[in-house]
Amino acid sequence: MDCSLDNNCGPAWDEAKRSAVLHSYDVLDTPREQDFDELVQLAAEICGTPIAVVNLIDTSRQFFKAEIGLGVRETPLETSFCGTAILAEEMMIVPDASKDPRFQHNPLVAGEPKLRFYAGALLRSPEGLPIGTVCVLDYLPRELSDHQVRMLRLLARQAMTQLDLRRTLAAQTQALEAAHAAEREKALLARIVEQSSDFFGMADTAGRIFFLNDAARRMVGLAEADISTTQVVDYFVEADRQTIIDVVMPEIGKNEDWEGELRFRNFATGTVTPVLFNIFSLLDAGGALIGYGAVAKDISLQKEEQRRRAEITREMSHRLRNTLAMVQAIVTQTFRMTKTVEEGREAISGRLNALARAQDILTSTNTSLARLGDVVGTALAPHRTGQGRFSLAGPPIDLTAPQALGLSLALHELATNAAKYGALAEPEGAIQVRWHWTEGRRFRIEWIETGGPKVSVPTRKGFGSKLLERIVAPYFEGEARLEFAPGGVRFRLEGEMAIPDDARIRAAG
């Protein structure tokens, strides 16, 4: 060796690399093993020393894979005989450490247990890096014969062989485990593909289908059928095939994937299934194109939801426009019959208010129907003072939306008139509103005022009269009669509950 401890030249290896090689054996801190125990037994017997060790030297500590005569498995490197310096020589023999300047100050030499003799044979990995020694030690100075030295070297090679064997075995086990894991992963992937409720399919480079999972077969009605004669385009409705040819194919031809909404057709039933379709190039490990993979998700439910939402939006807009048309009619009708703008303004705001409150009842129910009692109560609410001047009574009767709106407007006119000229204009006045079934789906509503001032037939008829006499009855396919009796105004509406069909509910005003 060119290097001694006196000149400061470092070891002939990269310590990090050496440590990495040592760690690759995965032997540090492993339990005792008989193979190595027998090895140190032999070393001690051959060399006649009380101590023998298979010593693995890491950067800052040493680990004894096997030892006799020491009783410990690890020591720090500072006090070590087998420090990295030792690793520099194939075979190192120190007959008397107390006389060797390299070791005489070592605490284990200078103090207890007063080690004197050391002989170590290097453990060199196949990469050529030293990772430890097989060494023997004694408390007395001694020499080794050539035979003992050869045996110690032999034992070191044996130890190295054992370590290599273990490392190879470990690597093989690891590779095997990795292969098993890959196998398991593959099986899982196959299961995911097979059992997914999404469509999985594969086509060759010519677009011929060679694989479909069960969900795919179900989706397109090819459960038991031979798929090898089918092409990608065959799976789509006629109207989408041009998109496949013009848009999708050129895109994946550029090795881009393509995703979009398309429609599958069922080969067996012709049923159409809207899908979110994703198609991409399938490449082998070398990157060569082997075909195309496709995943498709049935989006029927989403489509249905979209359609339903659009329908609701359309319906809302329709209702709004119809309501606005009613507002328009109320405004024009009011101005036809009023003398001044102020009069018209007040009448309009009252009528629109009645319309709005009736709308509130309708929007608060899920059925587009309104209870007659609710409509009456709501229409009269602004006139009810809590003095018990109204008595409302009748069975539950459902009204369609237009009926509820029409009746609300009529009741508003009656109440407004009563407040100005009728029962509500006098403290003693009272109003009865009664309704009941007459025959089958026919019913009658009556408005009876009492206790008001003496009634005379009005000279001028306004929109209110028109509404009560001509407009409200047709909502019920019935008849209305407004009577200016001397004892109080009476109004009677007879009609029929419409059987609410869809068209009528949609019309909703």
Partner 1 sequence: MTGNDDLAWFGILIVEDDPLLLIDAMDMAEDAGFTAYAARNADEAIERMRNHADIRILFTDVDMPGSMDGLKLAHYVRDRWPPVEIIVVSGLRHISLEEMPASSLFFAKPYPQKPLLDAFAGAVSRAAAI
Question: Site residues (CB under 8 A) for partner 1?
Answer: 314, 317-322, 324-330, 332-333, 336, 402, 406, 409, 466-467, 470-475, 501, 503-504, 506-507, 509
3-state secondary structure of 3: coil
Nearer to partner 1, 279 or 471 (CB): 471
- Cα 407 versus chain centre, distance: 50
User: Could you tell me which of 491, 418, 490 has the C-alpha nearest to residue 452?
Assistant: 418
Nearer to partner 1, 378 or 408 (CB): 408
Nearer to partner 1, 243 or 323 (CB): 323
Nearer to partner 1, 32 or 336 (CB): 336
- Give the nearest distance from C-beta 471 to partner 1 in angstroms: 5
User: Could you tell me which of 466, 354, 472, 348 has the C-alpha nearest to residue 407?
Assistant: 472
Nearer to partner 1, 252 or 409 (CB): 409
Nearer to partner 1, 105 or 336 (CB): 336
Residues 344-353: contacts with CB under 8 Å, at least 24 apart: 347/462, 347/463, 350/412, 350/416, 351/409, 351/412, 351/463, 352/327, 353/382, 353/412
End-to-end CA distance of the chain: 108
Q: Measured between alpha carbons, how far is 54 from 500 in angstroms, rounded to an integer?
A: 97
Beta-strand relationship, 51-57 and 130-138:
antiparallel
- Give the nearest distance from C-beta 345 to partner 1 in angstroms: 19
Q: How many CB atoms lie within 10 A of CB 42?
A: 17
- Give the nearest distance from C-beta 322 to partner 1 in angstroms: 5
Which residue blocks in 92-226 are alpha helix, DSSP H?
Answer: 107-110, 146-195, 214-220
Q: Please, are residues 229 and 206 in contact by the beta-carbon 8 Å criterion?
A: no
- Give the nearest distance from C-beta 464 to partner 1 in angstroms: 13
Cis omega (within 30 of 0) for bond into 113: yes
- Give the nearest distance from C-beta 370 to partner 1 in angstroms: 16
- Give the nearest distance from C-beta 415 to partner 1 in angstroms: 18
- Give the nearest distance from C-beta 284 to partner 1 in angstroms: 52
Nearer to partner 1, 114 or 336 (CB): 336
- Give the nearest distance from C-beta 413 to partner 1 in angstroms: 12
- Give the nearest distance from C-beta 346 to partner 1 in angstroms: 20
Which residue blocks in 128-145 are alpha helix, DSSP H?
Answer: none
Nearer to partner 1, 447 or 463 (CB): 463
Nearer to partner 1, 452 or 509 (CB): 509
Q: Measured between alpha carbons, how far is 11 from 83 in angstroms, rounded to an integer?
A: 12
- Give the nearest distance from C-beta 333 to partner 1 in angstroms: 6
User: Could you tell me which of 91, 148, 149 has the C-alpha nearest to residue 122?
Assistant: 91
DSSP secondary structure code for residue 470 in this structure: I
- Cα 385 versus chain centre, distance: 56
Nearer to partner 1, 68 or 330 (CB): 330
- Give the nearest distance from C-beta 468 to partner 1 in angstroms: 12
- Give the nearest distance from C-beta 219 to partner 1 in angstroms: 32
Nearer to partner 1, 173 or 306 (CB): 306
Amino acid at 60: S
3-state secondary structure of 448: strand
Residue 91, by phi and psi: left (phi above 0), alpha (psi -120 to 50) or beta?
A: beta
Q: Please, are residues 496 and 476 in contact by the beta-carbon 8 Å criterion?
A: yes
Nearer to partner 1, 120 or 495 (CB): 495
Q: Residue by residue, what is the 3-state secondary structure of 259-312?
A: EEEEEEECCCCCCEEEEEEEEEEEECCCCCEEEEEEEEEECHHHHHHHHHHHHH
